[in-house]
Amino acid sequence: MPAAGGLVGLLAGDPSVIGGYRLLGRLGAGGMGVVYLGRTDAGELAAVKVTLADRAERADFRARFRREVEAARRVVSPWAVPVLGADPDAPEPWLATAFVPGPSLGEAVVAHGPLPGRSLRVLGGAVARALAAVHAAGLVHRDVKPGNVLLAVDGPRLIDFGIARAADPAAETALTGTDLVVGTPGFLAPEQAEARTEDIGPASDVFAFGCLLAYAATGRPPFGTGAVDALMYRTVHDEPDLDGVPPGLLPLLRDCLAKDPAARPTAAELAGRLVVDTPGTASDWLPAPVVHTIAERSARMLALPDIEATTAGTAPPEPPSRSRRRFLLASGAAAVLAAGGAGTWLALRDDRPDAKGTPPPKARRWTIGVQADLSGPGKELGQAQERGVRLAVEAFNSRKDRPFTLDVKVSDDRGDQTRALAAARALTTDPDVLGIVGPSHDYTGYEALPAYDEALLPVLTVSAGLNLLVSPAQNQGRSILRACPIHAYGGMCLAYHAQAVHHPKRPGLLQERTDDTYSWQYMLGADFGFRQGGIRPHPRVIPGGAKGLERVLGEMVDAGIDAYVHAGLLPSAVRAAKALDALGFTGPRLAGQHVFGDGFLREAGRAAEGWTLGAPVIDPATRKEAAAFVAAHRTRYGTAPGWYAGEAYDITLFLAKHVEEAYRKSGKRPDRTTLPAVLRKAVLTGALSRRSFDESGNLGGSGTFMYAVENGRYRSLGYAPLGPPKQAGS
């Protein structure tokens, strides 16, 4: 169940009343349903989880939902969020739990950094006690993670028993599969990662608890981030990264993170080892910035509107009285006020509905959002895209006939998956943002999907080729337009180019498992592309971190490969370039989008010569239509445009054009949720290229451009072929 931070308004099709709860807004939404913030006539707040009707029609769904309700009701602990009501038999089954106005542990750590020592002990002691209650009820939670722990003024709360199971696996055979991995990668026990159903039990929650406490202490998961497959591998085989954990907690965490379930302590034993005074108030156990976040969110509850009923036969509510508003504070903000004193109260006073001197509302802006990695490992690509957006907005604003003026709002996710959702919500919850250019990276985009799908405003990416970003089957990415091909298609294009230009007979394919979704898709696409031309490749796979890379490359050369395709990331591609150079291999060497860029030229040096790379980016210097853009970039930033700056420039003007058209047709600011459908039917004709989209938002056509490395620079080879030689031009 979500915390309070992402509250957005109700949509036109949302009900206003469910099971006696007046709905005030949406806390979250996904493929399974919606979570609303609800309020009873007495003023009690609740998180109301409602399942979509089409899900409820599935044969086994109601049994699973009923099990979730029963599991949550069986857990009795002051540190677990209680169930307030439920109806598994309703047309759209719903479950209401007590609402906690504080952030999740994940939100707090992303926003304010790791927790200090006392906070960690209070957190650990309370969550351990909650897990002990879960296990005493004969259950296994199975999804203990930062998003499922809420930080309240009087201590943390464990939430979400949606995938809890009976501790006896035999009791659940009718509802589970033996090969299904359930839970959150990075916070799974090894037995969960390997889907060893018979070994999953209370000890699995203890392992996840260790991951959670390590994350709270260091700000990072103990087995890193990245592709699911890589996380699973590290969880099973690698030792956890506990650098930065306070020394007093290290023995406990090492015990929790033992690979053998039998070697881990019980939750009750952990609670005994983490004995600490009760939290008291937020200022007693939480850092000041987190206390302030709780205060802000609690204060927002004062201003929540009543809404007209849309459920038949329901009388409209009476206006909220001052006493009811005071009641809303009692569960959260009042405790903060007691802890924070007059300074906190003064900070909240002017947000009261009856406060005097409240400034008038600001005029609405017309804003383009940018979500990108601007200060992390992919900052070159992210900064280039930001510059492209700013130049496009400046070009639009320079028009004398413009009907409005555009602004730019930037949200830096630092290339960090744990920051991605918050970075996205900083844009999607701003009503002035009419569309987002970004994300700049696959996995930050994937983590931001809940925010995109809740808001349904247009999200236009020029570099995120992960196939799961747009998935109609999973009801996600509903408003995304991808102006670049998916990675599997990029891999096919490498194979098509190799056949058209080099005619290999035995190409070698190397897949690196570090970033497995990208690498696996490139490998799959290249293999398919070669086989379409009647060529059987020689594939190999190396573990994450490119362990054994040089040895495997030597074996591939000895096996007689006459071309090499690298399905992996930049660091391993640099090593591969140098190793193949040392081996004297002079055949065609190809790599894809996540290797392309100036970093490969710098780091591989002389060994990069002769490589061919494919990416969804055009060199603006090769197109006369882009001359004005190149000149503007040099004038504004003093350099030639970086890779992807031109694509961001084109896509921003494409968005602005259709916002303007919608405004001129209606005479008013367009509803941003109507724009994705319009954009998907339109054709982008920009300074660099002409692109169209299918009804799902994916790029139509090729979109992959080929480059040869010559004399330390990239030379454009033009579009990649659309098929192997015998199908060229089809």
**Would you please indicate which residues are annotated as catalytic (active-site) residues?**
143
Q: How many CB atoms lie within 10 A of CB 547?
A: 13
Q: Are 102 and 293 in contact (CB under 8 A)?
A: yes
Q: Are 291 and 317 in contact (CB under 8 A)?
A: no
The two three-digit tokens of residue 320, written as one number: 């909220």
- Enumerate the β-bridge partners of residue 133: none
Q: Given strand 507-512, what is the order of strands in its sheet? A: 538-542, 507-512, 563-567, 589-591, 611-615, 705-710, 713-719
Instruction: Determine the Cα angle at 144 with ends 139 and 145, to 5°.
Output: 165
Exposure string of 599-627, with b = 16+ CB inside 10 Å and e = fewer, is: bbbebbeebbbbbbbbbbbbbbeebeebe
Q: How many CB atoms lie within 10 A of CB 682?
A: 15
105-112 and 202-218 are packed helices; what angle lies between their axes, rounded to 10 degrees? Answer: 20
Q: Is the dihedral of CA 569, 484, 633, 637 positive or negative?
A: negative
Q: Are 537 and 507 in contact (CB under 8 A)?
A: yes
- Rounded distance, CA 211 to CA 317, Å? 46
- Rounded distance, CA 141 to CA 162, Å? 8
Q: How many CB atoms lie within 10 A of CB 56?
A: 18
Bridging pattern class, strands 589-591 and 45-51: unpaired
Q: Are 104 and 3 in contact (CB under 8 A)?
A: yes
Q: Are 693 and 699 in contact (CB under 8 A)?
A: yes
Residue 21 parent element (H or E)? strand 21-29
Strands (E), 489-647: 507-512, 538-542, 563-567, 589-591, 611-615
Most distant CA pair in the chain: distance in Å? 82
Burial grade of 355 (CB within 10 A; 0-12, 13-18, 19 or more): exposed
Torsions phi, psi for 139 (to 5 deg): -120, 160
| Cα separation values, 317 from 14, 20, 304, Å | 18, 12, 14
